[in-house]
Amino acid sequence: MDKLAQFKKEIEKGYTFKGAALTLGGAMLDGEVITGLHVKTPLKTFNRHGLIAGATGTGKTKTLQVLAEGLSDHGVPVLLMDIKGDLSGLAKASDGHKKIDERHAMIGLPFQAASFPIECLTISDEKGTQLRATVSEFGPVLISKILELNDTQSGVISLIFKYCDDNDYPLLDLKDLKKMLQFITNEGKAEIQKEYGSISTTSVGTITRKIIELEQQGAEKFFGEKSFDVEDLLRQEDKKGIISILRLVDIQDRPKLFSTFMLCLLAEIYATFPEQGDADKPKLVIFIDEAHLIFNEASDALLDQIESIIKLIRSKGVGIFFCTQVPADVPDAVLSQLGLKVQHALRAFTARDRKKIKMAAENFPLSDYYKTDKTLTTLGIGEALVTVLNEKGIPTPLVSTMLQAPRSRMGILTAKELKQVQSTSEIADEYNEKIDRESAYEILNKKLEEFSGEENQKKLSDQTRGRKATYSAGKEESFVESLSKNTMVRQLGRTLMRELTRGLLGALGVKKTTRRRTRTTRRRR
């Protein structure tokens, strides 16, 4: 059996599945497409996660688009993290092109343009359905991770949550949390110390500064009500899974905000979705485009959380796919958990690039038909090395693949088209109405106002009682008696009387004294 026949046999066996599957494209050998030899991936294993990697301009985003279309066709909802803002074209059918027809003719796959139901989401100033979550929903552990607090500072956050739970103070947004930090170090310090122990003002100051830093990245838009229900990510329209596109074009310079959102979303999905096991198809698939931007700027808390979620969330029927430039952008602990791998071309311009290519080549199964590190540098646009997990969880043979073109528009919607899509949303009105009900901030302000009013009333009462006592004393004593009790007045009175006496007796007293002295003198003489 010659090389081509042997290759066809191995690929057909490796990529033929019993259940539903998504067609990625056509197999290639020695740079030539073998028409009709299709490369597929089973729908059942999409909860085993995946990686789409490659240099800029090699077609990563279009591969992501093809996968999202295939999942939607099978009724699987999709969540796309759109960092570049170029995925909204999913809502409109492709206009077609001569090169698209040529590509599909080589693959042996008819091209049928199609549009897909989308929902535009946002956590910032972008237009779309606003995603929010309350501070209470995060809980003390996630809040501490987001703020990157030490054990002592995390203890303060736990104390605040406990105090609010005990006293029915809702923690909804960041101003509630800041107000509680202010309260426990000022007016409520004695109460807190009595019930829960003393608190370091230094720790409180550090936490407050970190909250302010989070606010400066726009987090106040994310914390609050109405909270987004992750069940709304699981909707369908005309039996197609809705593709929710989270527009993040203004988030690249605000990594803490994105980390906050990712922590909340993954934790909420894991806590909410029931165990599903290995079903015939996933419940939800999440694609994170330009994932290197996340991992390069992500906090340690986000990295730890993603690693944990990747390992555990498969049983919830959720798959997570990372789209990045080189596999090394993804932590090894995450990379080792990924099932589907689509590796587009890599460029070797420097010695460092060549090392990265060798490392990337080691992530794929050995092949008798490809020299992996060399093939990675010779792939064209829309071509990739592919390996997936079959229905038994076994890696399929490595195959060079010409990927099919997206059936939807390979470009963004115009502002008018985007507005039209958003106007048809079934959930936008519900979530875009911001609710600011009474929470810890308002309750504490009211409490402090009442406390201040009581204190002022007490002071006023004390002053009034003092004035009444003085008035009553004045009625019981005469004016002269009250003056007589004054030491200075008594001294002045004695001096005045002495001088008056001297004045009245002046002339007489002097003469009388003189006559007495004269008679005495005469007697003595």
pLDDT range class, residue 514, cuts 50, 70, 90: very low
The answer to the question of residue 430 being in a domain is no
Res. 343: pLDDT tops 60: yes
Distance, in Å, from the CA atom of 382 to the CA atom of 12, rounded to the nearest integer, reads 21
Determine the pLDDT at residue 522. 39
Distance, in Å, from the CA atom of 211 to the CA atom of 256, rounded to the nearest integer, reads 11
The answer to the question of residue 282 being in a domain is yes
- Considering the domain architecture, whether residues 182 and 309 belong to the same structural domain is answered as no
- Considering the domain architecture, whether residues 232 and 262 belong to the same structural domain is answered as yes
pLDDT range class, residue 52, cuts 50, 70, 90: very high
Question: Which residues touch 406 (CB under 8 Å, ≥6 apart)?
Answer: 62, 65, 66, 69, 89, 94
- Considering the domain architecture, whether residues 444 and 334 belong to the same structural domain is answered as no
Res. 99: pLDDT tops 50: yes
The answer to the question of residue 50 being in a domain is yes
Res. 387: pLDDT tops 70: yes
- CATH code of residue 315: 3.40.50.300
122 to each of 56, 248, 288, how far by Cα in Å?
25, 7, 15
Res. 239: pLDDT tops 60: yes
Q: What DSSP designation does 486 have?
A: -
Tally of CA atoms within 13 A in the half-sphere of 451 that contains its CB: 10
Res. 430: pLDDT tops 70: yes
Domain boundary among 343, 378, 404: 404
- Considering the domain architecture, whether residues 162 and 27 belong to the same structural domain is answered as no
Backbone CA torsion sign across 149, 153, 154, 157: negative
Q: Which residue has the higher pLDDT, 463 or 452?
A: 452
Determine the pLDDT at residue 211. 92
Q: Of 73, 34, 110, nearest to 399 (Cα)?
A: 34
Q: Of 315, 339, 364, nearest to 41 (Cα)?
A: 339
Contact predicate 72/287, CB 8 Å: no
The pLDDT tens digits for 344-360 are: 999 888 888 888 888 88
pLDDT range class, residue 487, cuts 50, 70, 90: low
Q: Which residue has the tokens 């901030």?
A: 441
The answer to the question of residue 373 being in a domain is yes
- Considering the domain architecture, whether residues 367 and 503 belong to the same structural domain is answered as no
Determine the pLDDT at residue 400. 96
Percent of the chain scored above 90 by pLDDT? 42
Q: What DSSP designation does 112 have?
A: -
Percent of the chain scored above 70 by pLDDT? 83
- Considering the domain architecture, whether residues 120 and 149 belong to the same structural domain is answered as no
Pure H helices in 242-335: 255-272, 291-297, 300-312, 332-335
Determine the pLDDT at residue 298. 67
Determine the pLDDT at residue 500. 46
Cis previous bond, 226, omega within 30? yes
Strand 243-247 vs strand 32-42: parallel, antiparallel, or unpaired?
unpaired
Contact predicate 347/353, CB 8 Å: yes
Determine the pLDDT at residue 101. 95
- Considering the domain architecture, whether residues 362 and 506 belong to the same structural domain is answered as no
Mean pLDDT of 200-205: 90
Q: Which residue has the higher pLDDT, 238 or 490?
A: 238
The answer to the question of residue 463 being in a domain is no
The overall average pLDDT reported for the chain is 83
pLDDT range class, residue 493, cuts 50, 70, 90: low
Q: Which residue has the higher pLDDT, 222 or 498?
A: 222
Tally of CA atoms within 13 A in the half-sphere of 176 that contains its CB: 24
The pLDDT tens digits for 252-309 are: 667 677 777 877 888 888 888 999 877 889 999 999 887 876 677 666 766 777 788 8
- Considering the domain architecture, whether residues 239 and 381 belong to the same structural domain is answered as yes
Mean pLDDT of 497-518: 43
Lowest average pLDDT, out of 342-351, 426-435, 469-478, goes to: 469-478
Contact predicate 457/163, CB 8 Å: no
The pLDDT tens digits for 395-409 are: 999 999 999 999 999
Backbone phi, then psi, for 104, in 5-degree steps? -70, -30
Q: What is the dihedral of CA 393, 395, 397, 402, to 10 degrees?
A: 90
Indicate the helix (H) or strand (E) that contains 129. Answer: strand 129-130
Q: Which residue has the tokens 């010659």?
A: 2
The answer to the question of residue 251 being in a domain is yes
Mean pLDDT of 48-71: 93
Determine the pLDDT at residue 481. 54
The answer to the question of residue 94 being in a domain is yes
- Considering the domain architecture, whether residues 444 and 368 belong to the same structural domain is answered as no
Determine the pLDDT at residue 252. 67
- Considering the domain architecture, whether residues 384 and 292 belong to the same structural domain is answered as yes
Res. 512: pLDDT tops 80: no
Mean pLDDT of 408-429: 88
The pLDDT tens digits for 106-153 are: 999 999 999 999 999 988 777 889 888 889 888 898 888 888 889 999
pLDDT range class, residue 518, cuts 50, 70, 90: very low
Determine the pLDDT at residue 207. 94
Determine the pLDDT at residue 515. 39
Distance, in Å, from the CA atom of 178 to the CA atom of 187, rounded to the nearest integer, reads 14
Give how many domains the chain has, as a whole number: 3
pLDDT range class, residue 492, cuts 50, 70, 90: low
Mean pLDDT of 174-189: 89
The answer to the question of residue 525 being in a domain is yes
Mean pLDDT of 329-334: 83
**Per-state percent for the chain, helix, strand, coil, to nearest 5:** 55, 15, 30
Determine the pLDDT at residue 497. 52
- Structural domain range at position 271: 18-131+228-404
Bridge partners (DSSP) listed for residue 343: 53, 385
Mean pLDDT of 190-194: 85
Q: Which residue has the higher pLDDT, 505 or 83?
A: 83
Determine the pLDDT at residue 312. 86
Res. 441: pLDDT tops 90: no
Res. 483: pLDDT tops 80: no
- Considering the domain architecture, whether residues 93 and 112 belong to the same structural domain is answered as yes
Distance, in Å, from the CA atom of 296 to the CA atom of 72, rounded to the nearest integer, reads 30
Res. 523: pLDDT tops 50: no
Amino acid at 495: T
Determine the pLDDT at residue 337. 84
Res. 33: pLDDT tops 90: yes
- Considering the domain architecture, whether residues 320 and 198 belong to the same structural domain is answered as no
